[in-house]
Amino acid sequence: MSDLVVRCHSISRTYQDDSVPVRALVDVDFEVARGEFVSLAGPSGSGKSTLLNIIGGLDRPDAGTVEVDGVGLNQLSESDLSDLRLHKLGFVFQAYNLIPVLSARENVEFIMQLQGVPAGERHGRAEAMLEELGIESMADRRPGEMSGGQQQRVAVARAIVTHPVLLLADEPSANLDSTTTEELLKLLRRLNEEHGVTIVTATHDPLVMSYARRQVRLRDGRIIEDSAREAA
Amino acid sequence: MPLKLLAQLSTRNLFRHRRRNLMMLLAIVVAVAGVILTNALIRGMQYDMREAAVANLTGHIKVLAPGYLDDPNIEKSFRLAPDWQPDVPAGEVEGWAARIRIPAVIMSERETRGIQFVGVDPARENISFLGDVTLIGEGLKDAEDGRVLIGVELARQLETEVGRRLVIITQGLDGKNREAGFRIAGLYDAEGTALEKQFVFTGVGALQKMVNADVVTEVSVKLQDDALVTDDKLELDVKSRLASFFSTLDVMDWQELEPQAAAMFVYVDSAILIWFLVIMGALIFGLVNTLVTAVMERIREFGMLRAVGMKPSAVVMQVVLESTIIMLVGVSVGIVVGWLLCTAWLGDGIDLSRWSEGIEMAGMRSRLTPRLMGHDVILVTVLSLVFGVIAALYPAWRAVKLKPLEAIRR
Ligand SMILES: Nc1ncnc2c1ncn2[C@@H]1O[C@H](COP(=O)(O)OP(=O)(O)O)[C@@H](O)[C@H]1O
Ligand SMILES: [Mg+2]
């Protein structure tokens, strides 16, 4: 039980788009155990981002319950959700992950700064993380001076340097070519295998899916296939 | 949320759009420097007018017999002990003078005019305009000098000159007219002609003999200028001391004696504030516009920051800081520029003598010197920063209005 990082029970989410209701998620049950690397797959519009955002406390379901690391999100206020995101989750978005006016190093330190990690420890952890991800030579560059792949690496570094219980990555490779995507995926897999980081990504890219250990397939807001269930 | 981190983000974002923010900064500098300079000029005018009013034989505080103002004549007079001194701490009073000032008629061989006949002790008149007039001929030697000093303009009207004799008729204490001849010691050239036509001076002792009474009609006290600026209760304090000493007499301040100048003095205070608010009000629109642009082009960044757990209050703070920093820099530079304009450029004052007629009517001097006052600078600084915060409110609201997810999806 305590090894479940994510527990979604019967969640639904309907958007009111131009008065036509769009059912983005329909009665979804979804669980993630600690240490898993899950890929949410499915065509565009199938509800991947919606599910990821609900898990990440950025959106709320209309029905059903969500628990992250044992904490029920339904009852939390916006401000509590904000704290939860800050202290427990790591995010990598498709784009605009980094703060343009900060260097790579400062970006990596940024969330630790929000958390109030003391300067000495912060510098040490950022340094180690940049090295670990092989981007220490980028440390003093600003995002505008880096390639897309380098930026995403910095984004991953920033997301995991705080040791989040869960890393959420929505289409992390959308703006990358296949070589760079593969490098990023190798990095994610290594973090998952060597450091035990729990990862959920959403993607429609088969390459990304192939790197995850568990594939969950969505269509029209429902889970239609889950490699974990088949194995069980 | 560490303020240092927010300030760092704000500063770097300001530097990121150097040109846009430099334009904004320039607008603030020009506005602040302009306000500082115009304030200083208006202040210069304000203090000029007060000084002129006070120098006009008024002083800051005056002791008069009851009824003198309604009907100035020698009966409305009082005795002053020869060793009298105002009972006021040294350093607060610049000087004082006891005078007789009564209406009289002056006649030359050719013309007759109505004037104010003023008996003075010339040694004490450094507190009035008489202290810095230009003389043709001689001044009065002392309080017993029985000659007269008349204005250049009056001499022209009477078609007379230094050394000639004049006849002056005035009422004695017994109600009977006295007539006496006076030799002209000198002519005084005051600023403008109004004073020159009005006042004729002689020694107070000589005038006492003429009206046959050992009295004066007024004691005028001038306070120290610096003490007046630092202590705004000084005037009231000295006034009440004098009032308790001269309990049977009227003790009046310059505001009561020169109500028009006093009203102007008060009006200028609000004019300065209104002028500043108008300028800053116009500036605010530019600032709000700049900030909204800065916020809207970073809306995804703000969404991302909140998605990773930054509090809305921290986002608001960041926008407020950006606004305040720009204001602070603009105001600092603006004050320095304004100060330079007041000292290096207009330090010697503006020569207004070409318009001397109108200026005299307004009670000003022919040279207008800017007067930069500490509390005006503080007011401009504090209000500008308040405006900086106010200008940030709407842009800040725009920055946090969208939910993080909506901002990212933009
Ligand atoms: N904020 C929103 N407003 C209206 N409709 C939305 C919104 N977000 C998502 N949708 C709709 O919900 C469905 C699922 O979207 P999403 O979860 O983004 O799919 P995916 O990430 O799999 O492409 C889509 O039809 C999409 O148009
Ligand atoms: Mg999506």
Q: Within a domain: residue A7?
A: no
Q: Which residue has the higher pLDDT, B157 or B410?
A: B157
pLDDT of res. B365: 66
Query: CA B63, CA A26: separation in Å to the nearest integer?
Result: 95
Stretch B316-323: mean pLDDT? 93
Q: Within a domain: residue A18?
A: no
Q: Within a domain: residue A223?
A: yes
- Residue B351: pLDDT above 80? no
Residues of chain B found within 8 Å of residue A96, distances taken between Cβ atoms: 300-301, 303-304, 408
Stretch B148-159: mean pLDDT? 94
A58/B307 touch (CB, cutoff 8 Å), yes or no:
yes
pLDDT, averaged in runs of 10, over chain A (232 residues): 86 89 95 95 94 96 96 94 95 90 95 94 94 90 93 92 94 87 90 93 88 93 87 62
Band of the pLDDT at B363, cuts 50, 70, 90?
Answer: low
Q: Within a domain: residue A15?
A: no
CATH of residue A226's domain is: 3.40.50.300
- Residue B212: pLDDT above 80? yes
Percent of residues, chain A, with pLDDT higher than 90: 76
pLDDT of res. A62: 95
Spatial neighbors of A99 by CB under 8 A, at least 6 apart, are A106, A107, A110, A143, B9, B301, B305
Residues of chain B found within 8 Å of residue A110, distances taken between Cβ atoms: 5
Band of the pLDDT at B187, cuts 50, 70, 90?
Answer: very high
Stretch B368-373: mean pLDDT? 83
Instruction: Give pairs for A209-216: CB < 8 Å, separation 24+.
Output: A209/A39, A209/A41, A211/A37, A211/A39, A211/A185, A211/A186, A212/A37, A212/A38, A212/A39, A213/A36, A213/A37, A213/A38, A214/A36, A214/A37, A214/A38, A214/A39, A215/A38, A215/A39, A215/A41, A216/A30, A216/A38, A216/A39, A216/A40, A216/A41
pLDDT of res. B355: 64
Which residues lie near ion ligand 2 (Cβ < 5 Å)? A 49
Q: Which residue has the higher pLDDT, B194 or B6?
A: B6
- Residue B361: pLDDT above 60? no
Residues with CB under 6 Å of ligand 1 are A 15, 17, 22, 24, 42, 44-50, 202
Task: Write down the ipTM of this complex.
Answer: 0.91
Which of B2, B9, B311 comes nearest A82 by C-beta? B311
Ligand 2 centroid distance, CA of A115 (Å): 28
Q: Within a domain: residue A169?
A: yes
Stretch B53-78: mean pLDDT? 89
How many angstroms from the chain centroid is the CA of residue B14? 40
Q: Within a domain: residue A13?
A: no
Q: Within a domain: residue A109?
A: yes
Query: CA A214, CA A232: separation in Å to the nearest integer?
Result: 12
Average pLDDT, chain B: 88
Q: Within a domain: residue A16?
A: no
pLDDT of res. A228: 76
pLDDT of res. A1: 46
Q: Which residue has the higher pLDDT, A111 or B48?
A: A111
Map residue B235 onto helix, strand or coil.
helix
A210 touches chain B (CB under 8 A): no
DSSP type of residue B173: T
Determine the structural domain holding residue A179 and report its residue range.
35-60+77-231
Q: How many independent structural domains does chain A possess?
A: 1
Residue nearest to atom 7 of ligand 1 (CA): A15
